[in-house]
Amino acid sequence: MIERIATPSKTKEIIEQNAFYFKKNYGQNFLIDANVLQNMISAADISDQDFVLEIGPGIGSLTQFLAENAKNVVAVEIDDHLIPILKETVGGYDNLTIIHSDVLKLDLGKLIAEKNHGNPIKVAANLPYYITTPILMELLEKEYPITSITVMVQREVADRMQAAPGSKDYGALSVAVQFYSTPHPDFIVPPACFMPRPKVDSAVITLHIGQNHRPEVTDRAFFFRIVKSAFAQRRKTLVNTLSATAGLSCTKEELLSVLETLHLSPTVRGETLSVEQFASLANALYPYR
């Protein structure tokens, strides 16, 4: 059996041998618990038929498990100091391609077309806390051929992604994630599973794409503008916050009339609206854009 990277002793050895130092601006925390990684493989439902994109492989802890379970893996790493380490730790897998790049600057559509002939892929990643949302929105908004995204993120972010209307965690991120996918919480990961230890719990969550019944919207950009405005001032009523931030060419009376048509209370707050209700609201307000 190949030696596991994801142990405290092996991770420490790799770090010391390569004189590697953690960079705060990259939010680097390496997993040192093989059981967590095996559970991620199960959560992502990785099989020998899957093409997997990994974002931020680090020293290859998750990469090793992906390469041993998937058909093909492409790992995208931004830190140039980690590229030679990855070639040393996981470079022996012939079904693995390591790419040195910022994933937000990479043409993922072209990559998927070249590496997997445009066929659907899965995404698996231990995402840095500081850039979780931009990466997720890039993957969701561009609508690449992705069937699922299984990521380890800050627990608070995972809670927000799956939050229900009316809860304290429900916000613009909740609506965006649930518009494009169906989130499924997998499991919690404590700080002790990482090196160095983060200050908060992490969580693994899977976003299933294409399994949700996405509501029809007249204009997607306008829909998200309404969502963002609705949460701009959470404690205000929807009428007041939309009047102040959405840039609509209508009066409060006209806004109230739209709410009445949609069977919504005149004092309703944005934080209580479902994704479907936001879609109906945006469609009704579209003539006032």
What residues contact 25, with CB distance under 8 A and at least 6 apart? 130
- Strand residues in the chain grouped as ranges (E): 30-31, 51-55, 72-77, 96-100, 121-126, 146-154, 181-189, 194-195, 202-209
Q: Is the pLDDT reported for residue 1 higher than 70?
A: no
Cβ–Cβ under 8 Å, residues 235 and 72: no
Is residue 215 a part of any domain in this protein?
A: no
Q: Are residues 227 and 253 in the same domain?
A: yes
Q: Are residues 228 and 252 in the same domain?
A: yes
Is residue 2 a part of any domain in this protein?
A: no
Q: Are residues 174 and 136 in the same domain?
A: yes
**Could you read off the pLDDT of 256-277 as tens digits, one per residue?**
999 999 999 999 999 999 999 9
Question: What pLDDT is recorded for position 212?
Answer: 62
**Could you read off the pLDDT of 216-263 as tens digits, one per residue?**
999 999 999 999 999 998 889 999 999 888 788 888 999 999 999 999
Q: Are residues 55 and 135 in the same domain?
A: yes
Question: What number of other Cβ atoms are within 10 A of residue 216's Cβ?
Answer: 9
Q: What is the DSSP string of 185-249?
A: EEEEE-GGGEESPPSS-EEEEEEEESSS-PPP-S-HHHHHHHHHHHTTTTTS-HHHHHHHHS--S
- Strand order of the β-sheet with 181-189 is 96-100, 72-77, 51-55, 121-126, 146-154, 202-209, 181-189
Cβ–Cβ under 8 Å, residues 189 and 195: no
Q: Are residues 199 and 235 in the same domain?
A: no
Q: For residue 64, what is the domain's CATH number?
A: 3.40.50.150
Q: Which of 209, 232, 264 is the last residue of a domain?
A: 209
**Could you read off the pLDDT of 13-29 as tens digits, one per residue?**
999 999 998 887 778 89
Question: What pLDDT is recorded for position 145?
Answer: 95
Is residue 112 a part of any domain in this protein?
A: yes
User: Which of 265, 216, 260, 269 shows the shortest CA–CA distance to 242?
Assistant: 269
Q: Are residues 81 and 197 in the same domain?
A: yes
Q: Are residues 230 and 158 in the same domain?
A: no
> What's the pLDDT band for 213 if we cut at 50, 70, 90?
confident
Is residue 35 a part of any domain in this protein?
A: yes
Name residue 208's beta-bridge partners. 148, 182
Is residue 214 a part of any domain in this protein?
A: no
How many domains, the chain? 2
Q: Are residues 95 and 227 in the same domain?
A: no
Is residue 124 a part of any domain in this protein?
A: yes
For residue 23, what are its two tokens?
Answer: 């960079």
What is the span of the domain harbouring residue 265?
A: 220-288
Is residue 152 a part of any domain in this protein?
A: yes
pTM for the structure as a whole:
0.94
Measuring CA to CA, how many Å separate 198 from each of 12, 153, 188? 16, 11, 14
Question: What pLDDT is recorded for position 202?
Answer: 97
Q: Are residues 67 and 186 in the same domain?
A: yes
Q: Are residues 199 and 253 in the same domain?
A: no
Q: Are residues 108 and 31 in the same domain?
A: yes
The rounded mean pLDDT for the chain is 94
Q: For residue 242, what is the domain's CATH number?
A: 1.10.8.100
Q: Which of 169, 187, 209 is the last residue of a domain?
A: 209
Cβ–Cβ under 8 Å, residues 222 and 289: yes
Q: Which of 175, 209, 243 is the last residue of a domain?
A: 209
Name residue 73's beta-bridge partners. 52, 96
Is residue 3 a part of any domain in this protein?
A: no
Q: Are residues 182 and 49 in the same domain?
A: yes
**Could you read off the pLDDT of 48-98 as tens digits, one per residue?**
999 999 999 999 999 999 999 999 999 999 999 999 999 999 999 999 999
